[in-house]
Homo-oligomer: A and B are copies of this chain.
Amino acid sequence: MNQKSVPVAKAIADRIERLILDGGLAPEEKIPSERQLALRMGVSRSIVREALHELHGRGVIETQHGRGSFVAHIVPEPGMETPLMRLFTGHTRTLYDLLEVREQLEGQAARLAAQRATSRDRHRITKAYDAMQAADPLTNAGLDHAFHLAIVEASHNPVLVHVLDSLKSLMLMTVQASVTNLSPREPFKKQIDQHHRKIYQAIMKGQPQAAQRAATAHVRHVSESMREIEENEHPIIRSGPVSRHSHQNG
């Protein structure tokens, strides 16, 4: 039957991968040179290179100019990344895109929480809120998260819970501890505390609109603060395209 005619490069990538997995090639171990592989597998070097790039993309190998390619360290981290995460991580702009979306969803969560929170929900939110009040800034990050999570779950919309959870994970991958860096700064902390209070009270009083407004403003404020800090501390990082190697010699 029709075998779909798999591209050779794809096949070679798989072969090399199997060679690594089955064939005893250990991490750090050097794999044959491109020219050698091409010869041994009976394909052109271009194909081998494309296959190696594929494997590099998969995180299977590392390549060093003039030295060779090596089997990558395999880290069996449980926190596997979805393609979505891969796509976004590393791009600074993404952080603000994420915050832009969160701004909306946290607002909605707060609104729904104000409408739907059961007495148990209210109790949990209150507990989280109180814990957050009496805590040092270091622990604060986790408590802050707990507070917001309690609110989101009080919305009783599992989709919302899940999406916000994903967005938070993405944020953590994009830039670690940015939020944490924010906390210590006194004036910010004061403002954030105030936001939290507003959100909390609105939900408790069952005022959907106020809750939404407060939560939205909260995220936006955090976002803007981060942007300011970034612009002050690393003005324009912009990992721009590497200029084509410019002949510095002569």
Task: List the interface of chain A (C-beta within 8 A of B).
Answer: 3, 5-9, 11-15, 17-18, 20-22, 41-43, 46, 49-51, 53-60, 65, 72, 74, 77, 80, 82-84, 86-88, 91, 93-94, 97-98, 100-101, 104-105, 107-108, 112, 157-160, 162-163, 165-167, 169-170, 239, 241-242, 244-245
Complex Cα spacing A80 to B158, Å: 20
Residues of B within 8 A of A12 (CB): 241
Give every chain B residue within 8 A of A107 (Cβ-Cβ). 104
C-alpha gap A7/B242 in the complex (Å): 9
- Knowing A104-B104, A157-B97, A159-B88, the reply to whether A43 touches B167 (Cβ < 8 A) is no
Number of identical protomers: 2
Please state if A11 and B242 are interface contacts (CB–CB under 8 Å).
yes
A145 to chain B, nearest CB (A): 17
Determine if A21 and B53 form an interchain contact, defined as CB atoms under 8 angstroms apart.
no
Shortest distance between the CB of A86 and any CB in chain B (Å)? 5
Does the CB pair B163–A159 fall under 8 Å? Answer: no
Cβ-neighbour of A21 out of B22, B56, B74, B88 (below 8 A): B88
User: In the bound complex, what is the Cα–Cα distance between A59 and B88 (angstroms)?
Assistant: 12
The contact of A166 among B17, B56, B83, by CB within 8 Å, is B83
